[in-house]
A and B are shown apart, each in its own frame.
Chain A
């Protein structure tokens, strides 16, 4: 019980700066909301003052922040300028697609990256290493949105000899029957290019960190012991070195979760994938500040939460970090 409340306390402490930033960006920076509300219509100073009082803007900043906190934690993020619906309703629809895209890509990226990184790190400087690490470095230097565009043109629209196999936008086929028969398969077919883009750029992280982590294990005495027991080389690597190398890998990757979210936003925009990033981007047009605000809070809170979850997972897997 005490551990759970400590965990909640840490979560709130970590989220506070995000909320503060949201407050500064969306309540303080945009200027006087009273003026914005009465935009275009002449208003006397008294009317403006009355509006401000009604919105609670004449209270001290701290009070405003507390009321803001209360509203956010209740789920009241205001009403969308564009859709005229509660913001949380607008965003709730985008949460699923974002999780699907980011989650699938992370799973693939981790699996591929850890496998290639382990092989590269086991024989550093070898041919496999040079080739796979060179590829990983190049993909890591690639802007995610650009890779998406290239894949879109190459495999979606089709350019030159390459056929346009995959859909170029959205999560579902606009015309029923245009794509695969079952809805799940239709979504999966639309998911291919976005996931491929995100995976291609993200896997490099896992590769590079796993490679360094494994190379650091080489020469450890317990590996000589494993070889002396009669294990094959691959067995020594996979059963002893890799599990030990995984722990620092996970720890370092905690720091890079924000990169996955940024990549997801870029991919959603390029492929018109209807997730939080796509919604936020299109909210820029109006600008639909409440939606932007809500998307920013949700995405940042997502990063914080995932960081904490990954931290807990790492603790569970390293017996040295557990209390005796």
Chain B
């Protein structure tokens, strides 16, 4: 005799009216080309893009490190939307081709079927716009969520005006709403130079480029374009402090460093600027795919942790694909949209074939990354060593929870607990090897920005402490919702009417909470007492 545990999730999937065959997340070059490839084949295609992002979300440095440099024009969301559509004519083309295009819509979670999470009976995505939070059932999903910038701590990096270079690019180029006049670029890879050059063309004066290494890392042509506009280059230099007031950065103190990253204090100088562009590492935005269970690995030639994919951009999960920067970042891809577009087409064709659509004959070759020009891990570790560990001030690395590098590496309980070691042996435990351990014990990376500004730095600090490479450090897990949603928003999600009657705080087992003085001796299912109240506590 068999039954269904009434307190389990079995049979309680919520009603979800909205269904699509192919969900594409991100309307950049990869997502757009995927959408246009998939359109017109008789399958339902939904293309979502979170831009325009609500200004409140941007103010929290989500999803990019915007550093408070959003211009007031952003508050006119209609004008912003118009600008986005004007700048991307392929959006209208996709709409004309029958694609369900949803702008201003963030995907905060992907919930594919797992053997241990099967109650939804298929793959579901969680979406949110300014009006509502809702669910979509999908068969295949192409994730093309782009990149964000690795953070880098130094004294004063919490000031407005310290921001990611991709964030500045997004504000200036996509939104036309960057509040910056004079900027200094920290980092010199091709990704950073490319963004900075676009900012220069948009009227931002790029005062200087700082590089901790002896050489500029990225494209000499773009560097030449910048220096021809008067940009100065400081190799073997890092930021010692971002100075300014509550309104933001007004100047920075830069300092020369030696080969070990030590600050040569007598070689410090001041530069005037209102903006610091962090460009030490473009990081693939993998939060959705990692959180939903796609296997990821640190691949230096792809810019960091990325989902493992096959020649068709397929991840380890059968119905999830990645394309564009979130599948990997390398110079030739940064310099030409054609690479990301090709990935989008590959993914779309693979998805169509999975949907049993006789796909158009495909001559696309698999996309492979460039051969790396530098040791990505060593480069990022050198930056963190010179900027964070080289600083005499032990700067706060996790801004949300105010945790310094020294506190992270010694796994010190948060300051608000007021704990002090009683004995010396309490100070001498082995250093952490996992960012999630650092997070649990120090709270670093646990804050409202969901670790976007500090997670790569924490991994680097652990690697430096243990003399390992970034590839050796486990990735701190991502968890939905990958965009902050209010309790009230999440609470508005649909729920099966079967959910409430047997809702219980714990397993809903009548026998579990019987007080010990009333527990019978032997237990069998046939003789168990089911008359006790089921509610757990």
Q: Do A and B come from one complex?
A: no
